[in-house]
Amino acid sequence: MKLRRVVVTGLGALTPIGNSLPEYWEALQAGVSGAADITHFDAAKFKTRFACEVKNFDPSTKFDRKEARKYDLFSMYALVAADEAIKDSGIDAEGIDKERVGVVWASGIGGLETFQREVADFYKGDGTPRYSPFFIPRMIADIASGHISILHGFGGPNFTTIAACASSTVSVIQAFNLIRLGKANAIVSGGSEASIFEAGVGGFSVMQAISSRNDDPKTASRPFDLDRDGFVIGEGAGAIILEELEHALARGAKIYAEMAGGGESADAYHMTAPHPEGRGASNVMKWALEDAEMQPTDIDYINVHGTATPLGDIAEPKAIINIFGDHAYKLSISSTKSMTGHLLGAAGAVEAIASVLAVHHDVIPPTINHFTDDPEIDNNLDFTFNVAKKRTVNAALSNTFGFGGHNASVIFKKYNP
């Protein structure tokens, strides 16, 4: 069968460096760090006392009190970002067949705050089970996709993908596949995460996965820097409206970019460490290129996973050189996690948005907080350190890798009729 073309017609972002798409893009170009002292809880006794939190988010301005009781914070973030993207796209306008509009959302963890609070309250009591009737519906990771569909009346395919930090990239790929196979006309894809609470910060800290640079949070996320000491945990949401091309053209939708392909792979190596030679990372980029029917030389920009972990930041450049060869040195590369922190299950969505906007505006966002080259990393690669740059971006690839060895990559290109 002939596969249908898929385009991006709407974007929404709620991030540590901007509570809307325009704010997010402006901050990316300016190299703004979203890291600061934790405010969600008292972190005084924790080894890491900072994170990349969403700033100035007041649920009472978005949801009435009765409605808010139904939502964990990760669902609130999902609804806000999805609403922005839906309005941007106009897919809920009169005349749209909502039975052909779906939601494929993602979260790596789901309602961690709800789970932590309900269990803690139980053990503080006398053993009598007094749980909220919203405990399970607030906590389960799939609930955000359900809430989005209920609010907007979208009756198409609806599910949630979970692949650790690759979760929302997988959601975008699954939405893409459903549309090009003719199973839906448009899909709200993306992901949300809200794990900056005691259990989340404490759990990642004891694994030695996150930075403990408490004296200088804003420079703590240091991808590819010699003195990197782990990622900075972030939160928020990103939403991408994918739509079948002819459907978008028929209603006069604006088009940011075309989605060209996606790839998925496994390291099949270790629970938390990447394959040292980047085997899974190499495969996922190779398979994304094959899916897009593109050559390595067609790519101008890679938004790398780039978490600022000691091992991951060595393996990914090796994989890029393996797949792209000499062209690797002509690419622009950057890690926007240096600014947003690591949004876990939502990382892929907010970074895919950065990639779409790089294609749309011909701007490469920077990798900030670079001070010292690491001799184990090939610094002849262009990591776009510290300052954004203008260049033509005909196509961009975005990588995300997760605990368990899950890898996912997506490719976006300029739309040409």
Query: What's the sign of the alpha-carbon dihedral 210, 214, 215, 218?
Result: positive
Residue type, 225: D
Tell me, yes or no, if 305 is annotated catalytic. Answer: yes
Planar angle of CA 158, 161, 162, nearest 5 degrees: 150
**How do the residues of the chain divide into helix, strand and coil, expressed in percent and rounded to 5?**
35, 20, 40
Active-site entry in 152, 247, 305, 406: 305
Distance CA 186, CA 212 (A): 42
Catalytic, out of 52, 147, 165, 275 = 165
- CA 15 to chain CA mean position, Å: 10
Whether the Cβ atoms of residue 89 and residue 186 lie closer than 8 Å to each other: yes
Q: Which of 40, 342, 360, 370 is catalytic?
A: 342
**Known active-site residue 40:** no
Q: Is 142 within 8 Å of 159 (Cβ atoms)?
A: yes
The yes-or-no answer on residue 270 being catalytic is no
CA dist 353 and 368 (Å) reads 18
Q: Measuring CA to CA, how many Å separate 341 from each of 15, 50, 133? A: 9, 11, 33
Return d(Cα 77, Cα 235) in angstroms, integer.
9
Q: Who's near 367: CB < 8 A, 6+ residues apart?
A: 223, 224, 306, 333, 334, 335, 336, 338, 383, 384, 385, 386
Question: Active-site residues: which are they?
Answer: 165, 305, 342
